[in-house]
Structure 1
Amino acid sequence: MCGRYLYDKSEQVLLDYYNEIRQRGVEIPDAATDIIYPSSPVITLGANPEKEIVPALTKWGFTGFKPSQLLINARVETARDKPMFKESFETRRIIFPMSGFYEFSANKKAYTFSEPNNILYVGGFYRMYSDPKTGQRQAESIIITTEPDTVVGQIHDRMPLLIAEKDVKQWILDDTFAYQYQHPVHQNLQAQAV
């Protein structure tokens, strides 16, 4: 995935997630909606202690080994093998709800991929991280990628791991289910040149 996605609050489900966070007294920066870039605060879905699926804010990207390094994606094929990702994938899976995502062709032309009248649910995970400068703890999140379907494959060699809406809770809570979820669900994705 090429570092941008869309969160359009004119879509009622996405607006509901946004409003639910605000009703808990959390201020949501403007960067968390519209076109989303790496290092932005983002709205994600995860499990609370009662195992209910709730929206929350995380920062998109894991701080890397160097201060300026930001890791925004993890391959589903290797996420459980890499020391930086293994524990988070196994214990803190989340969903990135979105309107669509961007991919770039080999000649750097941008395309958006979306499904008309539906939001997309993308698999991911998070970790708690202490900022070395401030000491403040924050949740950092990563999007999981997989091999592209036939629509995205015409443009790019990777895509986000799309999770069916009916499978969101299982993805977050059921380890066996999540470990076997290696390919995107069939969606009616449409590509549009930007």
Structure 2
Amino acid sequence: MCGRYATSRTKVQLTEAFHVASDQADEVPRADFNVSPTKRVPIVLTSSAPDSEAEAAVRQLRLATWGITPVWMAKAGKKGRPLTNARAETIDEKPTFRRPFEQRRCLVPADGFYEWFAEAGGKQPYFFRPVDGAVLAMAGIVEWWHDPENKTLWFPTFSVITTKATDDAGKVHDRMPMTVQPDRWDAWLDPGLTDAAKVRRLMAAPAKGSLDIFPVSKAVNVSKNNGPGLVEPAEIGS
């Protein structure tokens, strides 16, 4: 699974990395080294709100809430537990995820993500980040939440797509986020590409050896804790 991650890049860094025009980008909050479900964080997408008059798919950097609100809940104005992850193995079979996977995909920028290893002294957090220091583009899907108090307002929500961990990552946890390589971003974000089989081929788990994996402080276990110290290597059990 993916339950926490870090994102510290600025609006300028993200628009440059993902080739987004500045007038198509929301202001990015300060660096967050402990992103947890229900937080609003940057994503890259081309889909627009259901009642949008936009005719062309334009790449955007928008703030979105982590945790999909299914469309049937949105239409009914109901609230429920947000769905933060979608399993790659069954994503095109589940009613909640099938349509977003076909038409409303996104990229979730991250410095890296956390996973936990269960041991005798409790769960030890580990941080996974690209060896080359590049931004990690996690594969995601988008659903729009309709504000029941204001029918003209829609808010994007998203889930991170996960898969079986690679051998090196699997020593810590059996699941990890899917990612999309830069040369596949255009196709991944294209709402006109709706063939599930073709879409599947655009994403993959980070290649073995492409991630630095190391233990970090258990301070990250508390969602209110934050700061760059959370992603620094630490002694196990600290």
| TM-score, normalised via structure 1 length | 0.83
- Cα-to-partner distance string for 1:68-98 (whole Å, 9 max, x where unaligned): 5121000011111111111111110011011
- Structure having the higher strand fraction is 1
2:68 aligns with 62
Question: Partner amino acid for 1:9?
Answer: R
Give how far 1:50 is off.
3.4
Give how far 1:17 is off.
6.7
1:144 aligns with 161
Q: How many residues align?
A: 192
Q: Secondary structure at the match of 2:96?
A: coil
Give the fraction of aligned pairs with identical amino acids, expressed as a percent.
Answer: 28
The whole-number CA distance in structure 2 between the counterparts of 1:69 and 1:127 is: 14
Matching of residues 150-189 of structure 1 within 5 Å: 150-173=167-190, 174-176=193-195, 177-181=198-202, 183-186=204-207, 188-189=210-211
The whole-number CA distance in structure 2 between the counterparts of 1:52 and 1:130 is: 21
The whole-number CA distance in structure 1 between the counterparts of 2:148 and 2:11 is: 37
Q: Secondary structure at the match of 2:92?
A: coil
Distance 1:29 1:86, change over 3 A: same
1:83 and 2:95 are equivalent in the alignment:
yes
Give how far 1:34 is off.
3.4
Distance 1:133 1:70, change over 3 A: farther
1:4 aligns with 4
Pick which of 60-69 and 154-163 moved more.
60-69
Larger Rg: 2
Matching of residues 2-81 of structure 1 within 5 Å: 2-9=2-9, 13-14=13-14, 16=16, 26-30=26-30, 33-47=32-46, 49-63=55-69, 67-81=79-93
Matching of residues 99-138 of structure 1 within 5 Å: 99-107=111-119, 108-116=123-131, 117-132=133-148, 136-138=153-155
Give how far 1:27 is off.
4.4
Gaps of 5+ in 1: none
Gaps of 5+ in 2: 48-54, 217-238
1:94 and 2:94 are equivalent in the alignment:
no
Pick which of 115-124 and 184-193 moved more.
184-193
> Is contact 1:9–1:33 with CA below 8 Å preserved after alignment?
no
Give how far 1:124 is off.
0.7
Q: Secondary structure at the match of 1:9?
A: coil
Question: Partner amino acid for 1:77?
Answer: E
